[in-house]
Every structure is written in structure tokens, then in C-alpha cells.
Amino acid sequence: MKQRQSQQGHKRSRLTTRMMVGAAALLLGGGGLAAVATTALAGNAEPDATAGHQHTAVATTISCPDVGEKLRQVPQSAQLQVSKGLAALDRQVHDAYHRWMEGGDSAVLTTLKHQRSRTIGTMVTAINRKAPRPDYLLKMSGCTTKPVDEGAGAGGFDSTKSTANGWYQGQLPQQGGQPEQGQYQSQQPGQDQQQGQEQQPGQDQQQGQPGGPSPDDFVDINNVQPNADAPPFAAPNGGNATTGTFTTECGRNEDGHFNPDNVIVTPGVSNGAHHTHDYVGNKSTDGSSTDESLAASDTTCNNGDLSTYYWPVLRKLDGQAEQKPGAAQDANVGSVLTPATVTLTYRGSQAGQVRAMPRFLRIITGDAKAFTNGTDNANASWSCTGSEDRQLKDKYPLCPQGSQVVRTFAFQNCWDGRSTDSANHRTHVTFSDSNGNCPQGFTAIPQLVERLTYDVPQGASFAVDSFPEQLHKPVTDHGDFINVMPDDLMNKAVDCINRGQKCT
């Protein structure tokens, strides 16, 4: 009888909390709470002041293994099926996240695992028609939860204290990353916890931005120690370095070219990113673009560069909610900020000459899921004008009056010499070491560096678009690039860089 009463009390406690969280979600616009408050009280069904337990609020999001990152071979015949599968996996996590934030329990993760298992199975079957069967993907269906204050990767990564060398080559201190394949288990939410302490609406969120960011995601740039020897857009110098640069002027997206697609990761799919991208360069880029359509397009670049340059938009947290995919429907709320400046520069190698990129080379830098994936592929750089010797990887900068927020993307600068893309969109390119040397089998190519500046209101007033469960964390910032330069323009850029000249 006592056991039954304890179980009933436990259920009432969980139900009460779900109702509280659901009410808070309605107050905040619904579907985008950043956190669920629970109370850590292991082994006890009811709060007991005499037991000496401390009630601790635990805010969580959903964390799933990244199937796309583990792909190693995708035959041409399976590409569309795999693309649709990856998009379906993201949609399933999106929907599960919203159910979880509205007060869901372990059934949310159980349902999600079953959905993912079916989708991954379909992808494996499609790949297996023309390639070895990737059964290791089948171990990646289970998801768990992640405390929102844990940071990206195991133990987090505090970029305000980093003095790591090779900052602009994309290296990050290793923080443990993801578990090995097969270690993902469905955690039972509330299994060792009691849920009896509600969170006040907006307690750990920014006003007008359901789902994040947290005040802890911001830091005063004046409190950051200098950690960069040179600005991230500076050309290499000294020794055997190729010191030239080639700059392509493509505007600031004044024409308003936006969509929530990702033609590199999920070609053929609409809203494959679940967040809105800013585009400059090629005017036709969307989820259905092909090499042929990109080559036939017009461009915003003034030198005939047809390349596609895109990144998640930055939003002002003013509560404006566009009810469409990639915006409020995917928990991205606020007015889109147009960059004050966009600078696209190609630079050389510290180790010597560079060779031309192949046309239609695709590169992604950074990781849109770095908050749950860990920082292995993270490559965000945030700073303020006038303080760019201080670069942040996992914090948004609070800039002094009159200073602009700066986002910088330094892309991979070594290519395998064979492929314009790879199954996971990463293994065909990589970063050189701090001396500019590429790994064996790779060759140096011009390094694209994108520098964006923004005028933002004072305070913690902005956030980058993200997948809902990534909570608008700054570490998830990323850039995407497809080289569609005519060959003669690419050759001009390479010649300019290798000769040590500055060209446009």
C-alpha cells in the first residue's frame, strides 16, 4: 500500500509540473521553452525536509547522435533517399523537442527512438543497394537528454579563457566529444528525479526568444583576455607563406535572399535546416539547386563570381514572430538583422603556394549541432570591432557602445584533390596545422574567410538561428560555401594569392 501511495504521489508530482510547464509555454507563445525545471531528489517520492536533499532545478534539451556526421559512403542512387532521411530525422527531433518542452516524459524519447529506427533503416537499405550495408548507423536511433547549462561537449568549453594556438585553422581543445557508437541509451526522464519545482516563465531565457539563448551565453568583451595573435581575416606572413589575398564583393543580402533550406546537407528538401539562411553571391540557391542551375544563375557579386555563400541569420530579440518555416514555426523569433558589412576574402597558406579549388566544391565550416554533438567540428568566432584580438567560440560578445558584433568563418584550407563533396560533407576537406601543412594526401587551397559585422542593440539582445533543440547557442554558428567561380576567375585568385598581391 505504501508503495502504491508513493507511486501515485510521484505521478501527481510529475503531472503538476507538466501542467506548470505547459502553462508557461502558453504564456511564452508555446512550443519553444528553453528548459524544463525538475528537482533532483534521488530515491524519494515526496520532498522531505528532514532528508537533507537539496532541490536543484535541472533544465534539459534533447540530444541525438548525428547520423549525417557518420555517413561514409552514399551512392548517387541513394542520395535523395538519404537526404530525405536526414531531413526526417531533424523533423522528428524538432517535434520531440517541442513535446518534451511542453511537459513530456520518457514516452517522448521512446517514440522518437522508434521513429528514428525506421528512418535510419530506410537509409541503410537505400545505401546497401549499391554499397556495403552501414549497419553501424542502426545503433544511432536512441536519444537522451542534455542539461542546458552543461556547455557544448563533455565538460563544456570556455572560450573566454582560451589561448589555444591555431585558433583560425579551426582547431578546438578536445572536450571528449560524443560517446562511441552504440553507447547512446534512452534516458528515463524523471527516473531518479522528482518534478515538484516549477520554473518561472522567462527565468532563464531572453525576453521574446522562446528556446534561448540563456543570459549565460553572453559575455562582456572587455572581460575576455586577448587570445588571438592576429585578426582572423589577416593573411599569412613570413617564411614560405603566400601572402596575397583575393576579395570578392557580393553585397550584404540587400535583396533579401532567405530560405530555410540546406542544399549541401539535404538537397532536394524544403526547410532542411529548420532555421533561416542569409545568402549572397548566387541568386538562385535553394534546396533544389543543382550544379547546372547554379552555373546558369545570376549573382550579386560584382566580378562574375557565381559562388554560393550562406550562413544562419542573426536576429534581434524583439519578439517579432514570422509564422513560417525556419522562423517562428521552428522557434526562431525576432527581426532579421542585415549585416552592416560582409567581407569575403581568400588567402594563402603559411607553408607555401595554393592550388585552385575545383568548381562546385562544397565546404561546411562549424557545426549547427555543436551544442549536442560536442565541439569537434565547431568553428564559430565571435568578437567586437576594435577587440578582434579577443575571439569567442561559445559565447556571444557584449560590445561597448559604438562597437559592432563580428562573426568570422575561416573555412577548411586543405582538399583531398579528388572529390567536390563527401558523404558527411567534411572528410574531403580539412584544416592545415598551425604551420600551414596539410595532412598527407591533402593539398593547400585558398582559404575562404567570411567576416560579417552587425549593429545590434545594447545588451543580450540578439541570437543566431538554430535547430530548436540547439537553443540558439553561439557555438552552433556555421557557414556554408559552394565554389561556382568560373575557372578563369579562380585561376586569377590563385595567381594573385601566390604572387603576394591584393586583388578583387
Residue by residue, pLDDT tens for the chain (504 residues) are 444 444 444 443 333 333 333 333 322 333 333 333 322 222 223 333 333 333 334 588 999 999 999 999 999 999 999 999 999 999 999 999 999 988 889 999 999 999 999 999 999 999 999 999 999 999 999 999 999 887 664 333 444 433 332 333 333 333 333 333 333 233 333 333 333 333 333 333 333 355 779 999 999 999 999 998 777 778 888 788 999 999 999 999 999 999 999 999 999 999 999 999 999 999 999 999 999 999 999 999 999 999 999 999 999 999 999 999 999 999 999 999 999 999 999 999 999 999 999 999 999 999 999 999 999 999 989 999 999 999 999 999 999 999 999 999 999 999 999 999 999 999 999 999 989 999 999 999 999 999 999 999 999 999 999 999 999 999 999 999 999 999 999 999 999 999 999 999
Reply yes or no: is the peptide bond before residue 213 cis, omega within 30 of 0. Answer: yes
- Return the domain boundaries, the chain: 2-169, 215-503
As a whole number of Å, the CA-based R_g of the chain is: 23
**Quick check: 245 and 255 in contact, CB under 8 A?**
no
Rounded alpha-carbon distances, angstroms, from residue 53 to 17, 48, 212, 276: 19, 8, 29, 44
| Close Cβ partners of 72 (under 8 Å, ≥ 6 residues apart) | 134, 423, 424, 427
Q: Give residue 280's Cα distance to chain centre.
A: 19
**Quick check: 121 and 163 in contact, CB under 8 A?**
no
User: How far, in Å, CA of 281 to CA of 183, rounded?
Assistant: 42
Helix/strand/coil for 502: strand
Burial class for 381, CB neighbours closer than 10 Å (0-12, 13-18, 19+) = buried
User: How far, in Å, CA of 119 to CA of 142, rounded?
Assistant: 12
Q: Give phi and psi for 346, each to the nearest 5.
A: -105, 130
Q: Looking at the DSSP assignment, which residues form a beta bridge with residue 341?
A: 453
The two beta strands, 447-454 and 362-366, are: unpaired
Rounded alpha-carbon distances, angstroms, from residue 291 to 80, 224, 301: 15, 43, 18
